[in-house]
Structure 1
């Protein structure tokens, strides 16, 4: 919308009653205007002179224009308008040239009808373009027809929705382009809304309305939208509802108790078994915090443990003469943000009662199970390893076993380096040949050379008359494992290096080299690179041995293997000694928390010890050695990892102490007793920590 002040010819000075016609003409020429107001000495408007009248007075007057006063050409009572008047309102006034005067009476300009017409045309042109832009930006398709049914306008969306609509459609009859019911609207003059129709494979919904001018129907407009996607989404929504119904049926029919919470621990869904175990109903439980329910049902802060570890957590709880197996599984979105926690609760009481009845059936399965285990252990040589670390080791062994490269096995004492070496041999093309193992640290230095290389008859005092074959020759066409290679004497290392390079040996006292076909494996728990820097191990020998390094992780880094190993050794010693023993859940938990500095060897020895010394069929946690308890106490230390205000440090220590106590004891009552505070204090601290975490910026 525009105003008079935007298009008028502004005037800083008007003509006065003392100006001549000549001066008036000069003034009009200067301001490039067809007219100019004339005011008296007081500034009051007298009238207006126009170029046309001035020229007529000059032509038809005998006097010189300089002698004729402009008052003789003044048109009295001109049309006066305000600068704040809208252009459309100004057009309604009848004038060829109007004077523009402010509210205070000051003359500020003139406006010709020609200038006003140009401005109105420009405004109308802008409005048309603006309307076209609005129509083309609309998500809905729009088609307009005239009273003859011919298309007069449409927007870009209509072109996208109907391929028949193009620029050539303007002027064509609507029925020849697209049948959208606008002719009925012309006939009836009625508006219709949400009318559904189909064109080809697409479904549309349309609003139709007549265009009425001065009481006559002059056209019709149709606004339509493609709802094919919405129809498809509606069908998908119905499918989702059906799937949700099926899922709910599955959850309700589960024999385990199921509870689904959101990321804040608010219960969103439960099944009837969970209601039965928790002695509540859905109306009471849904919407409550899971922490309130946990204390009454299984006495462990399982939800908090899942949040801390960000991985599945399983606990065993014995409460009210019931044995419960409870698992918490976090559910994350694609960005790793926690969405839900699914808690699965299984009552093991009935299963434990059925255990005796299953013994006979278990015996029948044992033979099949042994066959299955022997098949499963075939590829791993009977070694137990189910975690990702050991899976990577086994995969590397599978690839390396088929080549002749020298392999250097790294790992702490007791991790199973000898077993890995034997597995490399049995999986290789030398499996039919001998597998010889030599512990370099267990043989005195003066005997090691003869053990490895052998000697000829009479090679030294005390030597056998017939001589002796060394380990290298014994391992011909097979594999030789040099265990504890870090203890190999420095003075013999050059001779070993020659064997690796030339694949030949010279026995002690011999003169002729003998060719050998042996694959060399070496194993150590020492840092050979540090020994090289200390001058205790030859660097060139290290490089010859370290062609393919395989690092065997310690047991403390592969906790998922502890329970399979425990079961394996339990079965082994049960068969060896002829009796059955089982481990209580507390013992299994202690095994999982222990660091196992002696690794698999220590675990095997511990299982044998507990099975032998146990008086009953169930091994209890009280029978564990003191080292397990001391290890547990060390792991319970709290720490502050960075500088912070003292109050924040105190809060952090409190948080860690409470988390450790809850993780160890599983109950706020027991945790409070261990920390020497009231149970209500622990609950309040936990609530405060959760509020702090919720308020902290992500």
Structure 2
């Protein structure tokens, strides 16, 4: 290496925001960047010459990422708490020469300031909630304006109104929003409303279910491809979903299901603001607002090694947790009435809910949340022959004459002793899906047969541990 190259590398290391460690294969620290001393609480001169084993034992590195690379021989990424109490994200890469581990190069980034900003946002959210509770005596005009603004979300509970107002406050910015909550709570509906409130409302809203795209097709679907990029590629090439979101909002649902290689590529897009199609060398600038959603605990998935820590911190800028329906029962009447109106329009008949149905609607825990409520109402609508909707028949030892068994010959199970509605419906759903998995060739065919979305079918099959059995030769 020339003297110029050495000086270039030295300049990069000494001026970078990240903190670099260069460690030999046995664990001795050969060099560190100057800024590391302030973060790790030890002078650069003392760090150099120490071993990572010693530094870990003394609590300077908690834990040592270089030791992890020495143990596994593979690149690693983890969260560290330094001797000064700083929280940093560290990643390290092995350097092999003739098959032997000679060096480990690690770099860390201080996330303490980002954590402080998130804590400040959480405090702001709490204060805003308290302010709303103190100012409930607002004018009727203000209340009317608020109701008009939230009508499309069928929001009535104070808890959801507070969340919706917080969402409206952050809508004008381009900050990434992370929607959290159980399956079916309405994360997609809130993401669409965020888009409508944003300055990008005239642009596209691109909704991507990360769990519904096969891993082998994910890169071509998300990033697009050039003509001839691979066998079977369209002759004119194809723009990816990231490009299609240009000027609008990209909503990535089920982000926790994103494969690790794609997490790395998504992180690069977020950092660089550009995307490169498969088979191309020219990056294309992209400009979109990113909103993501998951029903999983991303922090736990980071601990399991299934989700990148740096991507998690990139996404977790403005977290918004939507509570389950059982914690906001005040929203059930508005949601039920809006769903009933959609069903009446879809099927061309005006039906009303029997008064006795409301006790069941308000008393259920709705583990599937808004989605389960809507499915229940549609089942009740279709099973009620007159103009008044009764509670749907839950089954008996003998099926009624006008009920045909599911395709594949399976019959619905009888209601077991001491079994509740939710348990029965889960068993019935599993039975129907098992039959359809044997007779239909794809999740799209099942979705068409059941009248639900294909992503919903994917989630249900995963929940019950089912797979498509029929193959088209």
* Alpha-carbon distance, 1:392 to partner: 1.4
Does the 8 Å CA contact 1:482/1:523 hold for their aligned counterparts?
yes
* Alpha-carbon distance, 1:509 to partner: 1.4
Question: Is 2:174 the partner of 1:399?
Answer: no
Partner of 2:358: 588
Partner of 1:446: 216
* Alpha-carbon distance, 1:573 to partner: 1.4
Does the 8 Å CA contact 2:225/2:239 hold for their aligned counterparts?
yes
Aligned residue for 1:436, secondary structure, equals strand
* Alpha-carbon distance, 1:620 to partner: 3.5
Partners in 2 of 1:468 and 1:375 — Cα distance? 44
Residues 630, 557 of structure 1: CA spacing in aligned structure 2 closer, same or farther, 3 A cutoff?
Answer: farther
* Alpha-carbon distance, 1:580 to partner: 2.7
Residues 509, 378 of structure 1: CA spacing in aligned structure 2 closer, same or farther, 3 A cutoff?
Answer: farther
Aligned residue for 2:343, secondary structure, equals helix
Residues 537, 520 of structure 1: CA spacing in aligned structure 2 closer, same or farther, 3 A cutoff?
Answer: same
Partner of 2:310: 540
Does the 8 Å CA contact 1:595/1:631 hold for their aligned counterparts?
no
* Alpha-carbon distance, 1:549 to partner: 0.6
Partners in 1 of 2:210 and 2:260 — Cα distance? 12
Does the 8 Å CA contact 1:381/1:423 hold for their aligned counterparts?
no
Question: Is 2:338 the partner of 1:568?
Answer: yes
Aligned residue for 1:438, secondary structure, equals strand
Question: Is 2:261 the partner of 1:491?
Answer: yes
Aligned residue for 1:585, secondary structure, equals coil
* Alpha-carbon distance, 1:476 to partner: 0.5
Map residues 5-16 of structure 1 onto 2, 5 A cutoff: none
Normalised TM-score (structure 1): 0.36
Partner of 1:474: 244
Question: Is 2:280 the partner of 1:506?
Answer: no
Aligned residue for 2:179, secondary structure, equals strand
* Alpha-carbon distance, 1:456 to partner: 1.4
Partner of 1:151: none
Does the 8 Å CA contact 2:177/2:319 hold for their aligned counterparts?
yes
From 291, 301, 321, the counterpart of 1:531: 301
Structure 2: gaps of 5 or more residues: 1-143, 396-414, 424-473
Structure 1: gaps of 5 or more residues: 1-373, 635-698
Partner of 2:193: 423
Does the 8 Å CA contact 1:583/1:618 hold for their aligned counterparts?
yes
Partners in 2 of 1:506 and 1:485 — Cα distance? 21
Aligned residue for 1:550, secondary structure, equals strand
* Alpha-carbon distance, 1:531 to partner: 0.5
* Alpha-carbon distance, 1:375 to partner: 9.0
Does the 8 Å CA contact 2:379/2:392 hold for their aligned counterparts?
no
Aligned residue for 2:290, secondary structure, equals strand
Partners in 2 of 1:469 and 1:420 — Cα distance? 27
Question: Is 2:158 the partner of 1:388?
Answer: yes
Does the 8 Å CA contact 2:380/2:390 hold for their aligned counterparts?
no
* Alpha-carbon distance, 1:511 to partner: 1.0
* Alpha-carbon distance, 1:442 to partner: 0.3
Aligned residue for 2:150, secondary structure, equals coil
Could you say which structure has the higher strand fraction? 1
For these two proteins, the number of residue pairs brought into alignment is 260
Relative contact order (C-alpha < 8 Å, sep 6+): which is higher? 2
Does the 8 Å CA contact 2:380/2:392 hold for their aligned counterparts?
no
Partner of 2:367: 597
Map residues 678-693 of structure 1 onto 2, 5 A cutoff: none
Partners in 1 of 2:162 and 2:233 — Cα distance? 47
Partners in 1 of 2:235 and 2:215 — Cα distance? 22
Partners in 2 of 1:553 and 1:404 — Cα distance? 24
Does the 8 Å CA contact 1:614/1:623 hold for their aligned counterparts?
no
Residues 585, 531 of structure 1: CA spacing in aligned structure 2 closer, same or farther, 3 A cutoff?
Answer: same
From 283, 289, 293, the counterpart of 1:519: 289
Map residues 8-87 of structure 1 onto 2, 5 A cutoff: none
Residues 570, 631 of structure 1: CA spacing in aligned structure 2 closer, same or farther, 3 A cutoff?
Answer: same
Normalised TM-score (structure 2): 0.52
Residues 409, 381 of structure 1: CA spacing in aligned structure 2 closer, same or farther, 3 A cutoff?
Answer: farther
Partners in 1 of 2:421 and 2:216 — Cα distance? 45
Does the 8 Å CA contact 2:380/2:391 hold for their aligned counterparts?
no
* Alpha-carbon distance, 1:575 to partner: 2.4
Partners in 2 of 1:454 and 1:482 — Cα distance? 16
